[in-house]
Structure 1
Amino acid sequence: MRLLRLPRLPVRRALAAGLAVTTAFALAACQASSADKAGGRTKVTLGVGGQPLLPYLPTTLAEQLGYYKDEGLDVQLQDLKGGSKALQALQGGSVDVVSGYYDHTVQMQAKGKDVRAFVNLLRTPSLVLAVSPKAGRTIESVKDLKGAKVGITAPGSSTDFFLKYLLTKNGLQADDASVQAVGGEAGAVAAMESGRVDAAVMVDPAVSLLQQKLGGSEKVRLLADTRTPEGAEQTFGVKSYPAAVFYAGGSWLQRNPETARKLTRAMTRTLRWIQEHSAAEIAQKMPAAYAAGSVDVYRAAVDHAKPGFSPDGLTDEAGARAAAELQKSFSPEVSGKDIDISRTYTNEFVVSD
């Protein structure tokens, strides 16, 4: 039986062809890798609980200064108009990180969910409980809010928590006031200006704009003002109280430690920039629309807010415990729960220079 002899391939040509193909793939891979390192950025979707509000000023300022890009990040800011909505977006997976209030990490742990703050923007809550000059009743103290219409940014937001805390602290029930969602910016000012609400928990620049519209601070009674360390101590018993922070799910932080570190570096760099520049210089860097046509008022509001911004991004344990106690005082979801404060925030990504 004759065996069929297959034609022999030119060995040298085959090896050369194979080597050429292998080299081409290797070069392509190297070029792709180089392109990724040269121009590629890590995308992060960052939800903000009311972007024009001053507690979140560092979040936008970091973008304006180019600090996110300096860290190799492509940060997409989403203005979600309220802290509770930003939290919902995180839970739903439409954002990776939230620039919101620390209170929500306590709220989530009480529900058995791992959400942690990893850099602190604001060491005072900067929340103000103001009375409308057109209120339909006499309101001289928090106790007079029983049955009154009180505006908040949104149900479940930190403005809502703050109101409930003040009511219970002054001997009332958490639901003794009729809560109305009015937003945190123009909506809040309009509601107070028209008398649609008798009082409201507000955040600058809305507070300053309201005072300017209604003829000065003497026309707008403030029942509580936590825009300064002194005001925070008077209200909560501590000078440093974590307010606006960056927070994310614990699993996200475990999977993305370097991204969290880069976000933190961008933010601590921004916080130092705030400390080193005047209110006028800070205001000039912000989007013009945030001043709502009143540049001087906005600049004054920034000047008032400056002492409240964290100088270093660190979260203080005593302040964190005070925030947890605040929620325990009025929230059935948190009251009686064993809150492990060490699992609501971390300072591990904050590196001191």
Structure 2
Amino acid sequence: MRSALRGRTFVVGLITALSVAACGGSDTGSAAAPAGEKGLEKTKIVIGALPIPDSAGIHIAKAKGFFQAEGLDVQINPLKSSADAVPALNGGSTDVILGNYFAMINVSAAKVGEYRFIADAFQAKPNVFDLVVPKDSPITDIKGLKGKKIAVPAKNSIGELASGNALRTAGLDREKDVEFIPTAFPEMWGAMTTGKADAAWLTEPFLTQVQQQYGAKVLTDTMTGAMADFPIAGWTVTKKFADANPKTVAAFQRAYAKAQQLAATDRKEIEKILPTYTKIPPAVISTITLGDFPTTLSAQRIQRVADLMLEYGYLKEKFDVTPMLVPMPQQ
């Protein structure tokens, strides 16, 4: 099965679908520095986080008191779906969201709004995002998907991009040879068993769960070739917020960087924090495959998303992500 972890009532396309779970964790550890001493423009910030492994760093930072030590009073609100994220950010009820790079670049290029990435959250690794079929399916390889229906979290999403990338390696065309069916991750297994979909693009924890419980077959890992080690999501604010609160953003970045370093180097930290804000069963937590938790914010890395979106026709012209990044402060 798998040896490592993105538990997803899932993240996948900020105009996508996920689901459920609780949020938790309390600040412990370092004593808070008075906000006045740090000159923070805003001390209370609300974070919208999907209850998935991608969000581990933010919960570690709160639980260990890293935000508190920077003078920040952080409230983490669980989002029911990624479709709720951008409206919450634009409406002002939320200051920071877990933003899927594909979706945020898509809306930025369309000039729907101006956004800034302030920290990287999650990056793909082998076997974290796979195409699967039921164990009794006659489909035995990806070429067998020609003329079939594939469940993805949303149309024009990273799920569609990744599936299309895998299909192309098999000589298939995502627009001509398959039909993508928008389906929430928790509903994908049901969609396959009822005939609404023939295959599904799944990530953790659903990926491990359908294999353990139902014997689902993996057709292929979609994060290979052009999408190997692909950037998935980062912490996002509006340009207006970033411009008005530079010291607050820097404080967030410093606190988060400490937590992300733990997530990147110690799996046990992730396994310990996941039960506090997700409903992933303990037996699954210990076996799911984890992606990477980047500790830097790299324009070169995130540019890969925009460039591949252009190559596949999701963007009409080249889009430079550099202006969207707020450089991380020196620790």
| TM-score grouping bracket, smaller chain normalisation | 0.7 to 0.9
Distance 1:63 1:299 in 2: 22
- Cα distance in 2 for residues equivalent to 1:90 and 1:224: 33
Displacement of 1:136 in angstroms is 5.7
Q: Paired residue for 1:285?
A: 273
Q: Considering only CA atoms, is the larger Rg found in Structure 1 or Structure 2?
A: 1
Kept after mapping to 2: 8 A contact 1:188/1:206: no
Which residue is equivalent to 1:263?
252
What is residue 235 of structure 1 aligned with on the other side?
A: 225
* 1:224 and 2:221 are equivalent in the alignment: yes
User: What displacement does 1:207 show?
Assistant: 0.9
Task: Report SS of the residue matched to 1:305.
Answer: coil
Contact 2:104 2:115 survives alignment (8 Å): yes
Q: In the superposition, relative to structure 1, how do residues 238 and 132 fare at CA in structure 2: closer, same or farther (>3 Å)?
A: closer
How far does residue 97 in structure 1 lie from its aligned partner after superposition? 1.8
Q: Equivalent residue for 1:65?
A: 64
Q: What count of residue pairs does the alignment treat as equivalent?
A: 293
Higher helix share: 1
Deviation track 1:218-263 (CA, whole Å, cap 9, x = no partner) reads: x42142243xxxxxxx332654x32221112222211111121122
Aligned to 1:21: none
- Residue 316 of structure 1, CA deviation: 5.0
Question: Conserved in 2, the CA contact under 8 Å of 1:238 and 1:322?
Answer: no
Match of 1:297? 284
Q: Return the alpha-carbon distance in structure 2 between the equivalents of residues 330 and 77 of structure 1.
A: 35
Question: Residues 1-353 of structure 1: matches in 2 within 5 Å?
Answer: 42-48=43-49, 50-51=50-51, 53-112=52-111, 113-124=113-124, 127-133=128-134, 138-141=139-142, 143-167=143-167, 170-174=171-175, 176-184=177-185, 186-192=186-192, 196-215=196-215, 219-226=216-223, 234-236=224-226, 239=229, 241-279=230-268, 281-287=269-275, 290-292=278-280, 294-301=281-288, 304-305=289-290, 308-310=292-294, 312-317=295-300, 319-332=301-314, 334-335=315-316, 337-346=317-326, 348-351=327-330, 353=331
Residues 303, 320 of structure 2: 8 Å contact kept: no
Q: Taking structure 1 as reference, are residues 56 and 36 closer, same or farther at Cα in structure 2, changes over 3 Å only?
A: closer
Unaligned runs of 5+ in 2: 1-33
Aligned AA for 1:271? Answer: Q
**2: CA distance between counterparts of 1:286 and 1:61?**
9
Cα separation, 1, equivalents of 2:199 and 2:287: 23
C-alpha spacing 1:153/1:187, structure 2 compared with 1 (3 Å): same
**TM-score with structure 1 setting the length:** 0.71
Do the aligned partners of 2:35 and 2:43 also contact (CA within 8 Å) in 1? no
Classify 1:252/1:198 alpha carbon distance in 2 versus 1 (closer, same or farther; 3 Å): same
Going from structure 1 to structure 2, the CA distance change for 1:330 and 1:270 (only over 3 Å counts) comes to: same
**TM-score normalised according to structure 2 size:** 0.75
Identity %: 22
1:75 and 1:179, CA in 2 relative to 1: closer, same or farther beyond 3 A?
farther
Instruction: Give CA deviations for 1:60-112 in whole Å, capped at 9, x if unaligned.
Output: 33333333333222323233344343234333443222112222332133213
The DSSP-based 3-state class of the residue aligned with 1:46 is: strand
User: 3-state SS of the aligned residue for 1:349?
Assistant: coil
